Amino acid sequence: MWAVVTMALATTCAVADGGAFDVKLNVQGVERSAHVVVGVKAQAAIKADPDAKLPLVYVWHGWGGSSAGIEKMFAPVLPDAIAVFGQGLPRRFPKLGHRALDGWQVETNDLSRRDLAFFDALHSKLLATGCVDARRVTSTGFSNGAMFSNVLACVRSDVLAGVAPLSGGGPPAKARCGRAVPALVVHGTRDRVLPFARAVASVEHHSKTNRCSKAPYTTTQHGCRDGIGCAAAVRFCVHHGRHRLPTSMRDEAVAFLLAQKRRAP
């Protein structure tokens, strides 16, 4: 179990005892927070070499979820990385009633770009630790968190080395995206919250942005398929479940993200 501490981030690579700490920021007049976990192997790398630079993985929870909940699923499989679990703010989805639950923006300009501003401030703070390999910054998330990862892939392509949206959708069809970013899309064929067609549209969008000569085959058959002739990798992983994330697909996503390294412009 990780010990939770609050610490001021330094300009050199310094990690709190226990390998976990909170970051609190004032963004657009609102307090935002994230929990950061430095994996056991990443801690060992820092101790062996204080100048070590580590991969950084952002993991965003789903609508109505929490940073603590998504951390339980992902922290154990990210021992080599710095994992960041942000906490969303209340938002509504009109088609899902009037409830306001913690979540993220799904368009590049909605919610006054509050979550993009949070990401920018949080990322700047983490870079200042001196521990991050800026070429190996990636993003994943489940459901609404996956949709936010797709927004980031579109408008923060100069920062991200890869994304893995899990049971999500997007980027928005009319969004103007930047450079190609490697993407792995995971979705269940029986998903009734965000239908399988949303994943197909997402794969097609990434394939176009990444200039694939042939997009991954968007069959409902279980397994993973790669696009062909892509400027940046596009992979589509299908399972036969509903709106959930099988352990095997989580592991596939983590392996994909940790293998990515951002190319020079």
pLDDT by residue (tens digit) across 100-159?
Answer: 999 999 998 899 999 999 999 999 999 999 999 999 999 999 999 999 999 999 999 999
- Backbone φ and ψ of 68, nearest 5°: -65, -40
Strand partners, 164: 140
pLDDT by residue (tens digit) across 105-115?
Answer: 999 889 999 99
- Please tell me the pTM assigned to this model: 0.93
> How many Cβ atoms are within 10 Å of 104's Cβ, its own excluded?
29
Of the candidates 210, 186, 213, 214, the one whose C-alpha atom is nearest the C-alpha of residue 198 is 186
> Cβ neighbours of residue 195 under 8 Å, at least 6 residues apart?
none
How far is residue 133's CA from residue 69's CA, in Å, rounded to a whole number?
Answer: 26
Count CA within 13 A, CB hemisphere, residue 140. Answer: 28
Residue 209 tokens, joined: 């942005």
User: Domain extents for the chain?
Assistant: 5-258
The yes or no reply on domain 5-258 and CATH 3.40.50.1820 is yes
Residue 28 tokens, joined: 């657009």
